[in-house]
Amino acid sequence: VIDCVRSTQNVASLLRTCAVAGVEVVYCGITPAPPMPALLKYAGDAALLPSRFEKSAQHAVKRLQQQGFEVWALETTDQAKDLETLLARDISKLPLALVVGHESYGVSASALNACDEHVRIRTVGIKNSLNVAVAGSIAIFEIAQQRCG
């Protein structure tokens, strides 16, 4: 779930990762989505992934939960658990969705409140977070790798 990510290049990078991992995409809010020409230019064939649009990430989270998904928000909140801690569980058969948020403001508060877990990528430098496309790609790839065994 891409929650109001504004940069076409960030969205394109996330789409390429999703294409490699074989996951579907839900666009929310102001997020650039196909058939936007700039997105098609940067994402190429990855922009053709199975996808849908939801008005808000909160609505997308609730719909996914109704479909049996556990939904994790990739965000640096006080409740966030390290990605490797959550991946220590057996998630191989768990329907799972990941929400990534706006470059400056992160995942919307309403979506955060609706998510089952908050997850972070542990950092050791002076910054506490990565670029949304980088962080999202790391998390998607790590989840996909764990599912592949």
* pLDDT single digits (tens) 25-74: 999 999 999 999 999 999 999 998 999 999 999 999 999 999 999 999 99
Q: How far is CA 126 from the centre of its chain?
A: 24
Q: Which residue has the tokens 């309403």?
A: 110
| Three-class secondary structure of residue 79 per DSSP | coil
How far apart CA 45 and CA 49 sit, in angstroms, is 8
81 SS3 class: strand
State the pLDDT at residue 146.
87
The pLDDT value given to residue 51: 93
Query: Rounded CA gap, 99 and 60, in Å?
Result: 9
Percent share of the chain, pLDDT over 90? 90
pLDDT reading at 108 higher than 90: yes
Please give the C-alpha separations between residue 47 and each of 74, 83, 95, 141, in angstroms, as whole numbers.
Answer: 22, 27, 23, 18
Query: pTM (2 decimals)?
Result: 0.96
Q: What is the per-residue pLDDT for 78?
A: 95
pLDDT in tens, 122-142: 999 999 899 999 999 999 999
Q: What are the φ/ψ torsions at residue 129 (nearest 5 degrees)?
A: -150, 160
Which residues neighbour 122 within 8 Å (Cβ) at sequence distance 6 or greater? 82, 83, 84
149 pLDDT more than 80: no
Say how many C-beta atoms besides its own lie within 10 A of residue 81's C-beta. Answer: 13
Proportion of the chain above pLDDT 70, given as a percent: 99
